């Protein structure tokens, strides 16, 4: 068979399929209500998991985890020998050194469970990539994991992308829009079929 013959054979594809391919494209819309409910549920689950992890972290005096590692267990740990009282300062130093050596490569969070997404993202990174999945970002009462003045920019390459921040933040944001994540809030990005990149950056 030649390519020309194969081209002719494609011409014999059933009429119904040919007409379907010529029909106007109907964009799927993601229904808001289930998304909000799902996000709220996930917030709760991630919050509980995060609180448990923090408790374990404080009880531990293990050596600091490397910023370059993104395993499930790589949540920032206290410096060796530090006490609970000097934890905020130690954590601040850790954060600053992490920011200074920020890994600029994107983190592909595809196929990771949501709580791991939050954990793996680490926030030493300036960029996150979600491919055909969902990204959840939570903030605590201090706005952490984002430092004051940090903003998010979301870019997507295709359709079915949806993002919103809640709890006092912008209720919805469009592609390419920059927003500051609120305290006690969350950001949810549903990538659908699109590749979504979330840039985290400090305001100039």
Partner 1 sequence: MEDAAIVALFWERNERALTETAAKFGAYCRKIAMNILASARDAEECENDTLLAAWNSMPANRPARLAPYLGRITRNLALDRSDAARTQKRGGGQAALVLEELEECVAAPGGVEEDFDAAETGRQISGFLRELPEETRRIFLRRYWYCDSTADIAARLGISEAKVRVTLHRTRKKMAVYLAERGVKV
For partner 1, which is the closer residue by CB, 3 or 100? Answer: 3
Q: How far is the CB of 200 from partner 1 (least distance, A)?
A: 23
Could you give the 3-state DSSP secondary structure of residue 164?
Answer: strand
For partner 1, which is the closer residue by CB, 93 or 195? Answer: 195
For partner 1, which is the closer residue by CB, 2 or 33? Answer: 2
Residues that bind partner 1 (CB under 8 A): 1-22, 25, 27, 157-159, 193-194
Within 8 A by CB and 6+ apart from 116, the residues are 72
Q: How far is the CB of 30 from partner 1 (least distance, A)?
A: 14
Cα–Cα dist 24/3, whole Å: 29
For partner 1, which is the closer residue by CB, 18 or 48? Answer: 18
CA dihedral 60, 71, 67, 184 (to 10 degrees): -70
For partner 1, which is the closer residue by CB, 22 or 33? Answer: 22
Q: Count CA atoms closer than 13 A to 67's CA, side-chain side.
A: 19
Q: How far is the CB of 1 from partner 1 (least distance, A)?
A: 5
Q: How far is the CB of 155 from partner 1 (least distance, A)?
A: 12
- What is the SS3 assignment for 94-142? HHHHHHHCCCCCCEECCCCCHHHHHHHHCCCCCEEEEECCEEEEECCCC
Q: How far is the CB of 197 from partner 1 (least distance, A)?
A: 13
């Amino acid at each position: 068979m030649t390519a020309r013959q194969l081209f002719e054979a494609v011409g014999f594809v059933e009429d119904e399929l040919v007409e379907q391919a010529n029909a106007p494209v109907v964009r799927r819309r993601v229904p808001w209500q289930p998304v909000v409910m799902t996000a709220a549920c996930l917030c709760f689950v991630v919050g509980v998991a995060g609180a448990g992890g923090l408790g374990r972290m404080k009880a531990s005096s293990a050596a600091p985890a490397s910023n370059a590692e993104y395993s499930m267990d790589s949540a920032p740990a206290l410096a060796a020998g530090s006490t609970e009282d000097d934890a905020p300062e130690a954590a601040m130093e850790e954060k600053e050194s992490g920011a200074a050596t920020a890994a600029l490569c994107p983190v592909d969070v595809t196929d990771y469970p949501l709580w791991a997404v939050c954990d793996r993202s680490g926030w030493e990174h300036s960029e996150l990539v979600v491919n055909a999945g969902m990204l959840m970002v939570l903030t605590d009462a201090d706005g952490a994991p984002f430092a004051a003045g940090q903003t998010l920019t979301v870019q997507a390459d295709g359709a079915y992308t949806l993002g919103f921040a809640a709890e006092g933040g912008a209720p919805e944001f469009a592609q390419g829009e920059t927003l500051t994540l609120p305290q006690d809030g969350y950001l949810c990005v549903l990538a659908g079929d699109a590749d979504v990149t979330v840039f985290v950056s400090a305001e100039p």
